[in-house]
Structure 1
Amino acid sequence: MAPPRFDRHPWVPDSGRKKMWKLPKQYSHFAFGAIQAAVTCAVASAIASMQFVAEGTFISHWLRAYFFSWIAMLPVVVIVAPFIRWLANRITN
């Protein structure tokens, strides 16, 4: 009997596609920072762009604000994340 496969769901047929490329574990904090910055900037720029809904230009303003805020926040998040993790560990059990 063949060992079970854990790389895909049993009810999804194998399409023959290659597996998704992954970053090594040592870079997980960079991936975390990029994803966290992306989500935070998406929400914040959407809230800041709400005034453009009535004009019908929300999407263009939101995308521009999202792009510039993500570019600005990514280095901040990646640099500050280790300190935040250290601080969170210090103030919790």
Structure 2
Amino acid sequence: MAFGIKRSELVEWKRRVSEGQIAFITHFWIDDRFPHCKTVTKVGCSDINKLIEWGNQYGLKPEWIDGRDKSYPHFDLLGDKQKTILQKEGLDHLIW
């Protein structure tokens, strides 16, 4: 279950993803499979090759791209990997 973001933030993330930009959004998240994680960051881009190239620099595998919604393919970042990548991207404000 996702919560803790404003509709306008989600709309902006979707717009940027649709335009082929690498876009980040972090929200609170509860999933029994990951009890130690309270947030997830979605890093999306409609240009799959661009998203794969971005992910390669952080050791993210193309098969990890969540493409269930073909309009908004994205990586889900959790835990230590989430924090490390956000810090390297200069997005400390997305670390909650």
TM range (shorter): under 0.3
Question: TM-score scaled by structure 2?
Answer: 0.21
Higher relative contact order (CA 8 A, sep 6+): 1
Higher helix share: 1
Larger radius of gyration: 1
Question: TM-score scaled by structure 1?
Answer: 0.22
Higher strand share: 2
